[in-house]
Amino acid sequence: MERPSGNGFSVGLGLTNECNLACAHCYRDTGRIDRLSLEDVRRVCENVPVRSVNLGTGENGLHPEFHAILQYLRDRGTTIALTSNGYSAAVLSDDELRAFADLEFSLDFATEREQDSWRGPGNWQLVLDQTARVLRLGVSVTIIAVMMRTNYDKLAEIGALASQHGANFRVNVYQPVKTDAFSLDYEQFWTGFQRLLKSCPLAVCNEPIVRAILGFDPVLGGCGKGTIRVTPKGEVLPCVYWPKRNVGLAELEKWGAAIVDSPAFRELDRIPQFCGNCRFVESCRGGCPSRRLLRGGLDLPDEFCPFVAGKPIPSFASRAGSSRQFPKAGSACTTVFGAQEQGDRKA
């Protein structure tokens, strides 16, 4: 069975689902407030080998034990990253920020007007201020965007902005966890990637179908193999968008690192019959399992597959990227673009 690379799992912890914003596209549960306690975080870290922790889901800075949990992770020597709308970085001291390997800030648009009308007044400036602050402290910053039907043709501009500011750029495809309202159609998905790959220097592409068509090797690790997610309710998931919630912290204690061999995690390995003889199947493994499940069933092929859509294989004008290590590169269906080197950057 495939195991995480010697140093352990990349663990995503949602300390809380509370947020100071209410973005229309967000997957977080808004029914009630749940929180992982410091004790829960300890249970996770003591039961599986942890290579790195990424704090996401809500705004972790709203968690009453945020600073104590951060200190616990620092004391363990864990590699830590945080995904934030800017708020959680702003509540941290410079010393605390220096403990992170990477700070991720979300931008869904490349202009202040569009970003603030999507997320809330002042968010654009907060992200830019915290980006500058974190970079001044010598910590790397990644701007993260979700590719949706509302912005799929504007992402290259966010990539350019990230690069101008000295940040990396990461793109995830919108997952219809709560609504289809922001889902991409087939043409939007491929137009979005073609535009991105034309303009931004690609570092890592783990979006399974795009990766396969670019001719890259199969992803090693990834959802439910090298990564484990723990929600604020204490649900243990192979992927943050996985809709089935049947594993909890007690099962994680029971299985330990072998959680990735549990039937609940192995379910992601199912490959649709449609894909059986495809020449790309070893690389794309049938596409994104969470998307397939959310959009109708694990046994259905991924809707963005050109063979499913009866379309020609898309072509790309790809720009080679950097070979540096990116904290979230091994996780899930994500695509990372590298910042230009110092000398290439606009002032």
DSSP structure string for 63-95:
STTHHHHHHHHHHHT-EEEEEESSHHHHTS-HH
56 vs 330 by CB, closer to ligand SAM: 56
The tokens describing 25, both together, are 């596209």
- Output DSSP code: residue 174: -
**Residue 174 or 193 with smaller CB distance to ligand SAM:** 174
User: Rounded to the nearest whole angstrom, what is the least distance from the CB of residue 178 to ligand SAM in the complex?
Assistant: 7
Per the CB < 8 A criterion, the answer to whether 327 and 52 are in contact is yes
Q: Which is nearer to ligand SAM, 25 or 35 (CB)?
A: 25
**Nearest distance from residue 248's CB to ligand SAM, in Å?**
21
Q: Which residues pair with 54 in a beta bridge?
A: 12, 81
Nearer to ligand SAM, 73 or 103 (CB): 103
As measured in angstroms, the least distance from the Cβ of 108 to ligand SAM is 6
Q: Which residues bind ligand SAM (CB under 6 A)?
A: 19, 25-28, 56-57, 59, 83-85, 106, 144, 146, 172, 174-175, 177
Toward ligand SAM, which CB reaches closer, 84 or 188?
A: 84
Q: Kindly tell me which of 85 and 130 has the beta carbon lying closer to ligand SAM.
A: 85
- Please report how close the Cβ of residue 57 comes to ligand SAM at its closest, in angstroms: 5
Least distance in angstroms from the C-beta of 238 to ligand SAM: 16
284-287: long-range contacts (C-beta < 8 A, 24 or more apart)? Answer: 284/208, 284/209, 284/211, 284/212, 285/208, 285/218, 286/208, 287/208, 287/209
Residue number with CB closer to ligand SAM (175 or 231): 175
In angstroms, what is the minimal distance from the CB of 322 to ligand SAM?
A: 22
Angle at 34 between CA 147 and CA 251, to 5 degrees: 90
- The CB-nearest residue to ligand SAM is 106
Amino acid at 347: A
Q: How far is the CB of 168 from ligand SAM (least distance, A)?
A: 14
Q: How many angstroms separate the CA atoms of 11 and 330, rounded? A: 11
Structure tokens at 309: 């859509």
Please, are residues 33 and 20 in contact by the beta-carbon 8 Å criterion?
no
CB 200 within 8 A of CB 319: yes
Question: What does DSSP assign to residue 11?
Answer: E
Paired sense of beta strands 9-13 and 50-55, if any: parallel
C-beta closer to ligand SAM: residue 127 or 203: 127
**Rounded Cα–Cα distance for residues 160 and 162 (Å):** 5
SS3 248: strand
Nearest distance in Å: CB 278, ligand SAM: 26
